[in-house]
Amino acid sequence: MYSDGFQIERITMANLALVDADSIYFRVAYKTKKKNEIRKNIDIMMKEIEGQCFMPDEMKVAVKGIGNFRKDIYPDYKVNRKALEPDMKEALTYGHNYMIEKWNAVQADGMEADDLVSIWAYEARENEDAYVVVGIDKDLKQIPGNHYNFVKKEHVFIDDDEAYMLLMIQALTGDTSDNIPGIKGVGPVKAKKLLAGRPKERLWDRVKAAWRANGTGDPSISLRLLTMIKSWEEFNEISNKTTVSKQDVLPKQEQDS
């Protein structure tokens, strides 16, 4: 049962497919730099997703936007990412813009694309609309419900407790790909052992205790960086406390025919 009282269940049809599309055009851009092939491959992947997600009434598509509140909370967020080669940046920009123009993607300004997917999912749950979360990012599994991984061609169902457990595991391990601190030497397997057998309401206390025991400090910042936004009210509250940094902007470009 969701915390708001709505029943969570596996589905065989969906009103909504909620797509984190950054990984789609990223994968395509690594495969080809030719604009006609970028368009073709994106369309193939999106149509495959549509079919695998029970031909939903609507597809909501999220892509990278301008700025990210996490950079204001923790300036070293994603600082470890390598600079992209010019041809890759051009291909990514083209794919990003094509997602917006052809597939009506929405830019997730001030947040991550998966934050926007999370907001949509919680809105759908309030409205009792059946939804499928689509993407390959492990962070998406913080969202309870039905998921589709378009690379593995795999449907997964995650309930509320499992979603929260996955977040607590990340709070212990951190996320090296995003440069989010965790406890040195603690990976997913060890994290699961540290949390095993504890009720949901005691998991965060266990995370804090583990950080203290390892002299790692306060995990609160890591938790905020890792936790996806659940509502526009939450995002507005965060935005009022930060400047929402304007880094890593994908510039618009004219598309060639």
Q: What average pLDDT does range 57-85 have in this prediction?
A: 95
pLDDT over threshold 90, residue 252: no
- Which domains does the chain possess? 16-159 (3.40.50.1010), 163-225 (1.10.150)
Instruction: List Cβ neighbours of 233 (8 Å cut-off, separation of 6 or more).
Output: none
The CA distance from 212 to 189, in Å, is 19
pLDDT over threshold 50, residue 6: no
Instruction: List Cβ neighbours of 118 (8 Å cut-off, separation of 6 or more).
Output: 140, 142, 143, 228, 229, 230
* Mean confidence (pLDDT) of the chain: 90
Lowest mean pLDDT across 3-12, 15-24, 113-122: 3-12
Lowest mean pLDDT across 51-60, 83-92, 104-113, 177-186: 51-60
Distance of CA 70 to the CA centre of its chain: 13
Q: What average pLDDT does range 49-70 have in this prediction?
A: 94
Token pair for 84 = 């992209």
| Nearest Cα residue to 160 out of 138, 148, 139, 144 | 144
Residue 246 is predicted with a pLDDT of: 42
pLDDT over threshold 90, residue 256: no
pLDDT over threshold 80, residue 124: yes
pLDDT over threshold 80, residue 163: yes
pLDDT over threshold 50, residue 167: yes
pTM of the model: 0.89
**Residue range 190-241, pLDDT digits in tens:** 999 999 999 999 999 999 999 999 998 889 999 999 999 999 999 999 988 8
| Nearest Cα residue to 26 out of 118, 176, 165, 136 | 136
